[in-house]
Amino acid sequence: MSDNDILVEVRDLKVHFPIRRGVLFDRTVGHVKAVDGVDLSIPRGKTYGLVGESGCGKSTLGRALLQLNPPTSGEVKFDGVELTTLPAGKLRTMRRRMQMIFQDPMSSLDPRQNVESILTEGLQTHGIGANRDDRRRIIGETLDAVGLPRWALSRYPHEFSGGQRQRIGIARALVLGPELIVADEPVSALDVSIQAQVVNLLDELQDSLGLTYLVIAHDLAVVRHISDVVGVMYLGALVEEAPSDRLYTEPLHPYTRALMSAVPVPDPDVEDRRERILLAGDLPSPANPPSGCRFHTRCPWAQPTRCADERPELRSIGASRVACHWAEQIAAGELRPHEVTAKITRPEGEGEEPGVVSAPSEPGSYV
């Protein structure tokens, strides 16, 4: 694939939030490593799905890509232009080409603005449309594209259903004519029956407008349906990335295997027989991530060598990229899963004992 086919390129991206303490003297006592070394590329016109547990850094990564969370270090190239060092004025101009859709349209839409005003605001900010009529034409076409009637223009967000509100959120992004849309949990707040409509709308818009998406979602089925490539995040980093179907049929990383084993299969016989991997314990704190492989405190395949002290690189295995020292041996069945007792790591000063704290928890079980 030539460089020209890649719209977004992220290299070793880190976003660390300072943890501040103290009443009189505000001091930094540590950092939440929300995103801690991510590399990924999104080809033009394709969809990159991002999944992972709550708190693993998905939203922070999406926001950092658009420079809404300033990265601590690393590179973000959009259409060949490095964004992290771009002067503010140029970044504002660039923002028109990169838009975001949020999980909860009610809280992301201003309740005091009617739809026309919501859609006009962005056009005016970016100087799009020669005059009022021209802006009305653009807005009308956008409403048609997202399946909203013209009378919606004079209405306010609370007058719409959840699905229609998300269409307004999509229209607000679309009206600016972006190339990239970062959709952060775009259907999580919607009824299941409405979710499919909104996912299909995103799909159709991609086909007709050649859009590129980063779709963040908890729901693995939603991501599979819409994505060309899926990245799985754990504690601020990608642990696996693969073409969508391959990730679901042949997960290679132990964490991905655990996630996939929790997705129900429609065939009841297969559902009864298949392996389930229950992960022990909660996600460790991103303020004090485990040493070595960050998944080693919960990994059913963790080995006495390498796992606790050597951070695995994201390396290519076939069409996938996997961050596990033992991925080949696990795939070949040479290593078997064992039980894990969870350990929770807390930020220094939060527990009785800083660092690693044993947690009473159910060991993982395997069928």
Ligand X SMILES: Nc1ncnc2c1ncn2[C@@H]1O[C@H](COP(=O)(O)OP(=O)(O)OP(=O)(O)O)[C@@H](O)[C@H]1O
Q: Which stretches of the chain bind Mg ion, using CB under 5 A?
A: 59
Number of helices (H), then strands (E), belonging to the chain: the values are 12, 14
Q: What are phi and psi of 157, to 5 degrees?
A: -50, -40
CB of 199 to ligand X, least distance (A): 18
Asked if 119 and 110 count as a contact pair (C-beta separation under 8 A), the reply is no
Q: How many residues comprise the chain?
A: 367
- Of the pair 59, 72, the CB lying nearest Mg ion is at 59
* Contacting ligand X within 257-316 (CB under 6 A): 286
Q: Which residues pair with 343 in a beta bridge?
A: 358
Cα separations in angstroms, 47 against 6, 131, 230, 315:
12, 34, 8, 21
- In three-state secondary structure terms, 217 is coil
Please name the residues in contact with 88: beta carbons below 8 A apart, sequence gap of 6 or more. none
- Of the pair 59, 285, the CB lying nearest Mg ion is at 59
CA distance 336 to 303: 10
Binding interface with ligand SF4 (CB under 6 A): 253-254, 293, 295-296, 299, 301-303, 307, 312, 324-326
- Of the pair 303, 361, the CB lying nearest ligand SF4 is at 303
The angle subtended at Cα 359 by Cα 354 and Cα 365, nearest 5°, is 145
Q: Residue 128 corresponds to which tokens in the numbers above? A: 């799009």
CA distance 292 to 250: 25
CB of 77 to ligand X, least distance (A): 21
CB of 170 to ligand X, least distance (A): 19
CB of 185 to ligand X, least distance (A): 7
Choose among ligand SF4, Mg ion, ligand X, none what residue 157 binds, the Cβ cut-off being 5 to 8 Å by kind: none
Choose among ligand X, ligand SF4, Mg ion, none what residue 234 binds, the Cβ cut-off being 5 to 8 Å by kind: none
- Of the pair 72, 103, the CB lying nearest Mg ion is at 103
Closest residue by Cα to residue 119 from 130, 132, 107: 132
Choose among ligand X, ligand SF4, Mg ion, none what residue 299 binds, the Cβ cut-off being 5 to 8 Å by kind: ligand SF4
Choose among ligand X, ligand SF4, Mg ion, none what residue 254 binds, the Cβ cut-off being 5 to 8 Å by kind: ligand SF4
**Of 39-47, 51-59, 147-155, 332-340: span binding ligand X (CB under 6 A):** 51-59
CB of 52 to ligand X, least distance (A): 6
- Of the pair 16, 296, the CB lying nearest ligand SF4 is at 296
- Of the pair 47, 120, the CB lying nearest ligand X is at 47
**Dihedral angle at the C-alpha atoms of 125, 77, 51, 103, nearest 10 degrees?**
0
Choose among Mg ion, ligand X, ligand SF4, none what residue 303 binds, the Cβ cut-off being 5 to 8 Å by kind: ligand SF4
Among 6, 10, 42, 56, binds ligand X (CB under 6 A): 56
- Of the pair 176, 258, the CB lying nearest ligand X is at 258
Asked if 26 and 205 count as a contact pair (C-beta separation under 8 A), the reply is no
* Alpha helices, DSSP H, located in the chain: 58-65, 88-95, 105-108, 115-125, 132-146, 162-174, 192-209, 220-226, 244-249, 254-261, 268-273, 327-331
- Of the pair 30, 300, the CB lying nearest ligand X is at 30
Sites of contact with ligand X (CB under 6 A)? 17, 32, 34, 52, 54-60, 286
